[in-house]
């Protein structure tokens, strides 16, 4: 007899599923009366966390809660041993014998750490992002984990927010493309494949708009903006079949996201048709009380349940209060059953009823050469060359290098935020990698600062001595891992500690200065960027960051990364993003006067009234989509297949892309549009598509995009999704500031 037939709940579950499709769920007698008691059903809604490192350390209270049917899933599983012991208790010692799901934050790799998500986004390479998520799923599932709380798809326009490092950046289109890739990677072809893990699109919704970039802060997002910018990645996740969605911590327009009836019930369940599991964030149901939205835990539980949440993470507000809420008639058994059904469905899809225990082989799955190669390739493609004066890079072969800085040999910090299962001994640092390619007489190293935060300059003299011995200085600094991530927002996003001072001292040696930044966010470099001859953004590049960086610096690989965020000059420019609506007084080069150029005693009016800062201007340091290569590329001959299209039609636009340099190049060709006049002020540019094209020296290719009506549609003031007839600009461009432009009309 197969397990499917033998399991008592499977019959119940089947009845339940059938019942659901005929609208008879509330009456499903087997579930309500025979199989699951009320307590057991409520237990499915509870996610607990475990801190035990071994089975022997599992607390007795947790074991008892599982035996009593009070736990449906468990977060922070450290090993198959712990997972299997907890599962054994659920499957053999609890009355209902419903398998637990084991979850963990596997955010950018399990043990083989890929670049942080923001770094991965800089690759603009969906295929690699998918492979990275797949590798993470293979590794994590071998350890008993079948559910990850990733991808984080919060749009972020403010890099003071520490969690921008976990995001795919500021753009809804790029984020949506990478969301789909990531969900596919984690979930594979089928969730029932034991190497697949359920993905979670998080945090629903608006969390990345935390006011002032301060984590857990309030968010105010007008509904059209919510629909046009913050929601599309979630729609993409739902369409890609994401198994679960996590509600956010933030208050959104006055209502905490974890109790947001409109966002969850109307939009996510109603408009997007999401019928998977919605899990709260850690304690976010309980926090409805701290928000001052619920007067007590009972009201918090009611609000979360009514808003559509299925599982409460860690806090026990629902478990404690649901019986009384049901007694009082506030929540019906049918409402509870619908939630239990979604959770059981997920367990069913994961194949947990058939195979509740982890049978993975970590030794064969973790840190495989294939995963390490992938991590190196992703790290390589995430590197963005931002500055390269006088072709400082690639480094000429045979030249000696002074490798300086607190992150040049920082095995832990190159891994970035959210690496619960990483081990720093696996990391290959920049120093390690340079040692492989340069002899002892060609490499001079000094850490110079004991950490990225250090203000102690006692080792500067030694670093300068090392610098003087070499042909070129490579400085590796930025932010340690712990300076970004959850709850690690910064009000000042310059290089921390004495790094700016050190960079100035190094420059005084007269040697070419290459700066490599590892950080969770763009760093405000306005005060020090002129000291740098070349600049590479490496994000937190992960386990194989060192070899990737050294290959790029040495010219054994070409830079392909492009910024997934607008890079500000100074922190005070934030929030900053390329797809902003047009001002009535837009600034441009011709009408901007810098305050140093104001005549003495100038009158207010004489200095211009444009949309800019008088000190820093109106431009970012580097625009969204920007990144240099070791070659040069020209864009020419933009063409449309017709000058106008119908509102429901499509149009082809193409341009000739030429490698005008001497090295091969992989160019990320970006398509932007602008709706010139509309019933809502539209962004000055919006990314709608992109293609990566590889060109040999002197080679040209025509790159063609198809613009569809869905690319031109937006949510208007009445929240209707419309294409408004009129004139549009279209650019085929290397970034959000430049490119070939033409126009078309929509009739």
Residue numbers at the binding site for ligand BGC (CB under 6 A): 105, 149, 202, 281-282, 486
Active site residue 281: yes
Strands (E), 135-174: 147-148
State the nearest-atom distance from the C-beta of 281 to ligand BGC, in Å: 5
- Contacts (Cβ under 8 Å, ≥6 apart) of 188: 134, 137, 195, 196
Element containing residue 706 per DSSP (H, E):
strand 700-708
Got the DSSP string for 533-552? Answer: SEEEE--S--TTHHHHHHHH
Closest Cα partner for 671 from 688, 658, 656? Answer: 688
Q: In the complex with ligand BGC, which residue's Cβ is closer, 260 or 387?
A: 260
* Residue 204 Cβ vs ligand BGC, minimum distance, rounded to whole Å: 11
Please provide the distance, in angstroms rounded to a whole number, between the alpha carbons at the two ends of the chain: 64
Helices (H), 294-385: 297-307, 317-327, 333-349, 362-365, 369-382
**Residue 49 C-beta: closest distance to ligand BGC, Å:** 8
What three-state secondary structure class fits 73? strand
d(CA 371, CA 119): 17
- Minimum distance from CB of 257 to ligand BGC (Å)? 11
Q: Which is nearer to ligand BGC, 348 or 488 (CB)?
A: 488
Q: Which residues have C-beta within 8 Å of that of residue 555, sequence separation ≥ 6?
A: 393, 394, 395, 397, 630
To the nearest whole angstrom, how small is the minimum distance from the Cβ of residue 304 to ligand BGC? 16
Specify the residue, 209 or 331, whose C-beta has the smaller distance to ligand BGC: 209
CA-nearest of 514, 539, 164 to 380 is 539
Compare residues 153 and 268 and give the one whose CB is closer to ligand BGC. 153
Cβ 423 vs Cβ 470: under 8 Å: no
Please, which residue, 311 or 443, has the CB nearer to ligand BGC? 311
Residue 154 or 345 with smaller CB distance to ligand BGC: 154
- Catalytic residue chosen out of the listed positions 105, 154, 158, 281: 281
Q: How far is the CB of 47 from ligand BGC (least distance, A)?
A: 9
Contact 656, 701 (CB under 8 A): yes
Handedness of CA 634, 636, 639, 644 (dihedral sign): positive
How far, in Å, CA of 142 to CA of 363, rounded? 9
Cα(253)–Cα(244) distance, rounded to whole angstroms? Answer: 24
Classify 6 as helix, strand or coil: helix
CB of 259 to ligand BGC, least distance (A): 16
Q: How far is the CB of 247 from ligand BGC (least distance, A)?
A: 10
In the complex, residue closest to ligand BGC by CB: 149
- What are the b/e assignments for 15-40, b being 16+ CB within 10 Å? bbeebbeeeebbebebbbeebbeeeb
Instruction: For the chain, count helices (H), then strands (E).
Output: 23, 26
Q: Report, in Å, the least distance between residue 311 CB and ligand BGC.
A: 12
Identity of the residue, 73 or 87, whose beta carbon is nearer to ligand BGC in the bound complex: 73
Question: What is the rounded distance in angstroms from the CA atom of residue 625 to the CA atom of residue 197?
Answer: 31
Residue owning tokens 């010219």: 555
Comparison of 247 and 509: residue with beta carbon closer to ligand BGC: 247
Q: Are strands 101-104 and 73-75 parallel, antiparallel or unpaired?
A: parallel
Q: How far apart are CA 42 and CA 51, in angstroms?
A: 23
Output the CA–CA distances (angstroms, integers) from residue 675 to 255, 403, 621, 712, in the order listed.
32, 49, 26, 8
Q: Encoding tokens for residue 694?
A: 């590889």
- Between 210 and 506, whose beta carbon lies closer to ligand BGC? 210
Mind telling me the catalytic residues?
281
């Amino acid at each position: 007899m197969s397990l499917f037939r033998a399991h008592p709940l499977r019959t119940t579950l089947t009845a339940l599923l059938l019942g659901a499709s005929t609208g008879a769920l509330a009456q499903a007698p087997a579930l309500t009366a025979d199989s699951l008691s009320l307590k057991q059903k409520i237990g499915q809604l509870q996610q607990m966390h475990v801190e035990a490192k071994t089975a022997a350390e599992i607390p007795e209270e947790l074991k008892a809660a599982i035996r009593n049917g009070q736990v449906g899933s468990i977060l922070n599983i450290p090993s198959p041993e712990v997972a299997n012991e907890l599962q054994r208790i659920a499957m053999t010692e609890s009355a209902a014998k419903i398998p637990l799901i084991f979850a963990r934050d596997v955010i950018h790799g399990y043990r083989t750490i890929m670049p942080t998500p923001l770094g991965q986004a800089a690759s603009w390479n969906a295929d690699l992002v998918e492979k990275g998520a797949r590798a993470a799923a293979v590794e994590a599932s071998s350890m008993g984990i079948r559910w990850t709380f990733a991808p984080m798809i919060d749009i972020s326009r403010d890099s003071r927010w520490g969690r921008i490092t976990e995001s795919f950046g500021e753009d809804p289109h790029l984020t949506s493309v990478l969301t789909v890739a990531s969900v596919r990677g984690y979930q594979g072809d089928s969730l029932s494949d034991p190497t697949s893990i359920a993905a979670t699109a998080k945090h629903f919704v608006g969390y990345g708009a935390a006011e002032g970039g301060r984590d857990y802060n309030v968010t105010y997002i007008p509904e059209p903006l919510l629909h046009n910018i913050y929601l599309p990645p979630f729609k993409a996740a739902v369409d890609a079949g994401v198994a679960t969605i996590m509600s956010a911590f933030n208050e959104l327009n006055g209502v905490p996201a974890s109790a947001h009836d409109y966002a969850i019930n109307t939009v996510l369940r109603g408009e997007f048709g999401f019928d998977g599991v919605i899990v709260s964030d850690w304690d976010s149901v309980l926090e409805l009380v701290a928000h001052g939205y619920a007067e007590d835990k009972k009201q918090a539980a009611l609000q979360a349940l009514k808003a559509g949440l299925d599982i409460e993470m860690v806090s026990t507000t629902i478990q404690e209060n649901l019986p009384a809420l049901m007694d009082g008639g506030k929540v019906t058994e049918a409402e509870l059953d619908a939630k239990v059904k979604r959770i059981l469905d997920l367990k069913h899809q994961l194949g947990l009823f058939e195979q509740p225990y982890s049978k993975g082989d970590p030794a064969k799955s973790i840190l495989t050469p294939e995963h390490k190669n992938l991590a190196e390739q992703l790290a390589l493609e995430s590197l963005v060359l931002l500055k390269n004066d006088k072709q400082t890079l690639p480094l000429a072969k045979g030249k000696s290098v002074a490798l300086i800085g607190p992150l040049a040999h920082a095995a832990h910090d190159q891994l970035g935020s959210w690496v619960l299962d990483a081990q720093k001994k696996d990391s290959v640092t920049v120093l390690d990698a340079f040692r492989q390619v340069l002899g002892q007489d060609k490499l001079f190293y000094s850490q110079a600062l004991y950490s990225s935060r250090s203000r102690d300059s006692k080792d500067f003299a030694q670093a300068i001595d090392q610098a003087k011995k070499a042909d070129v200085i490579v400085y590796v600094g930025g932010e340690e891992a712990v300076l970004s991530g959850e709850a690690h927002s910064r009000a000042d996003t310059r290089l921390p500690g004495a790094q700016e001072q050190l960079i100035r001292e190094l420059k005084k040696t007269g040697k070419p200065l290459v700066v490599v930044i590892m950080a969770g966010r763009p760093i405000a470099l306005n005060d020090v960027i002129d000291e740098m001859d070349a600049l590479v953004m490496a994000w937190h590049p992960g386990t194989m960051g060192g070899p990737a960086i050294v290959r790029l610096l040495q010219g054994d690989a070409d830079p392909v990364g492009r910024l997934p965020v607008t890079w500000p000059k100074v922190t005070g420019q934030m929030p900053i993003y390329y797809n902003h609506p047009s001002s009535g007084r837009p600034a441009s080069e011709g009408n901007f006067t810098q305050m140093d150029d104001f005549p003495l005693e100038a009158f207010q009016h004489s200095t211009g009234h444009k949309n800019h800062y008088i000190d820093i201007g109106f431009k970012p340091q580097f625009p969204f989509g920007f990144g240099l290569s070791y070659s040069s590329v020209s864009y020419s001959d933009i063409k449309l297949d017709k000058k106008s299209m119908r509102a429901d039609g499509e149009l082809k636009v193409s341009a000739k892309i030429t490698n005008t340099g001497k090295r091969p190049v992989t160019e990320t060709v970006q398509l932007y549009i602008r709706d010139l006049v509309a019933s809502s002020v539209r962004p000055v540019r919006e990314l709608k598509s992109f293609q990566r094209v590889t060109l040999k020296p002197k080679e040209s290719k025509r790159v063609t995009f198809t613009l569809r009506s869905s690319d031109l549609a937006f949510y208007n003031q009445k929240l209707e999704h419309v294409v408004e007839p009129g004139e549009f600009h279209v650019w085929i461009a290397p970034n959000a500031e430049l490119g070939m432009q033409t126009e078309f009309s929509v009739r």
